[in-house]
Amino acid sequence: MREFSQLGWLFIIATNVTNAQLQSNSRVVEVDRKCNVLPEPFSREIGEPFYKTQAFYNIIGRQPKLSVVAERNYSFAHEAGIYIPKTKEIMFTSNRLGNLSGTDQYTEIYKMNVRTYKVTKVTPSIDIPLANGGTFYKGKAIVVSQGRGDIGAAIYSIDPVTYETSVLLNNYFGLKFNSLNDIAVSHLDGSFWFTDPSYAYEQEFRSRPQLGEFVYRWDPNTGDVRLAADGFVKPNGIQFSPNEKIAYISDTGFTTGRGEIDVKRPHTIYAFDVLRGTDGLVSLTNRRVFAMSDVGIPDGIKLDVKGNVYVGSGDGVNVYSPQGYLLGKINTIQCANLVFVQDDLYILAENKIFHTKLSIQGVAFD
């Protein structure tokens, strides 16, 4: 238990300050060593930092700085976080915008240059209804959509310069996906792994589901689409470990599409072993609990080269060791997803994008 009683090392940031102030206000906060037994009566506000360990210094460095590099007055920076090496830009998607109680709602896609922090709107050559998560693969931004009305969810490929867009996959043997949320591409075999929670139906912009709360694998080389994992309430973030021997999938069933919280439901990241057969078949096995967010839901997942796991959660980025110990938090209050550009970490925090330089590199996608 000793490890749990050690300190917490976190960023904490003041809210409602300008960019310049934020930079100087970001600091590492030490949380009381003796937190195993707290004197009654005690309480903790949601979002208030807690936790822990020296290992976090190896990640955030001794003099970490957290700054806001882009800001708007709406949730423009929510999901994806796709680094495009050629143009030195990050592509990301907004949260749902517009009238949130019908099929008029929409999301927008943006790019931010990581040198100038200039943000520009991306206009795909064909409509991508309610774009959400994404990744980078072979020069293209791969973006999943949540569909709209009777238009099912699908996987799209966008040329990051010309915005030429095509649909890669929009059905499972003729059945429509619900609302694809996130995607990871295996760099070992080029297969696409993606989550399909039914959030869009609960959020009133998609028709009744034809499929369950599933995770799929699609092999573009053979066209094979198969169920990769089930047993989720709302499968959400998905990512591989650097050697692709482990897959991480978060379940955000804790929050319903209507925004209610059900504490009996998971806000948990699960780990699976990735089995590769000599016949080329790949499957997930040995499902186990990896970690649970203590604030909000674990949304997007990214990893560094040492296999530490970064999860966008209700209080910012939670960083876990490869064994699932919480190392510390980068406390941006909100974070749906994040993206590494080598050792630069960009945090998509709804109306802000934060940047911090780490002492470790993220897993690169190319």
> Would you tell me which residues interact with ligand NAG (CB under 6 A)?
73, 99, 101-102
C-alpha to C-alpha distance for 216 and 214, rounded to whole angstroms: 7
Q: How many CB atoms lie within 10 A of CB 320?
A: 22
Q: Which is nearer to ligand NAG, 103 or 135 (CB)?
A: 103
Q: Which residues pair with 149 in a beta bridge?
A: 206
Cβ closest to ligand NAG, residue 93 vs residue 103: 103
| Minimum CB distance to ligand NAG, residue 98 (Å) | 9
Beta carbon nearer to ligand NAG, 75 or 252: 75
The residue behind tokens 């994806």 is 80
CB of 75 to ligand NAG, least distance (A): 12
Q: Which is nearer to ligand NAG, 73 or 222 (CB)?
A: 73
Q: If you search the block for the tokens 């330089």, which residue do you land on?
A: 357
Smaller CB distance to ligand NAG: residue 85 or 102? 102
Q: How far is the CB of 72 from ligand NAG (least distance, A)?
A: 7
DSSP class of residue 304?
A: B
Q: Which residue is nearest to ligand NAG (CB)?
A: 102
Distance CA 29, CA 316 (A): 15
Name the residue nearer to ligand NAG (CB basis): 71 or 219: 71
Token pair listed for 304: 């560094």
DSSP assignments along 58-80, one per residue: HHH-SS--EEEEEE-SS--B-EE
Q: Is 175 in contact with 155 (CB distance < 8 Å)?
A: no
**What letters, b where the CB count within 10 A reaches 16 and e where it falls short, cover 263-292?**
eebbbbbbbbebeeeeeeebebeeeeebbb
Write down the least CB distance from residue 102 to ligand NAG, Å.
3
Cβ closer to ligand NAG: 86 or 208? 208
Residue closer to ligand NAG (CB basis): 107 or 318: 107
DSSP run (H or E) holding 194: strand 192-196
What is the DSSP track for 120-171?
A: EEE--SS--TTEEEEEEETTEEEEEE--BBTBPBEEEEE-TTT--EEEEE--
Cα 349 to chain centroid distance, Å, stands at: 11
Q: At its nearest, how many Å lie between ligand NAG and the CB of residue 235?
A: 27
Least CB distance from residue 326 to ligand NAG, whole Å? 36
* Smallest distance, ligand NAG to C-beta of residue 353, A: 16
CB of 289 to ligand NAG, least distance (A): 39
Q: Residue 141 has which token pair?
A: 């931004």
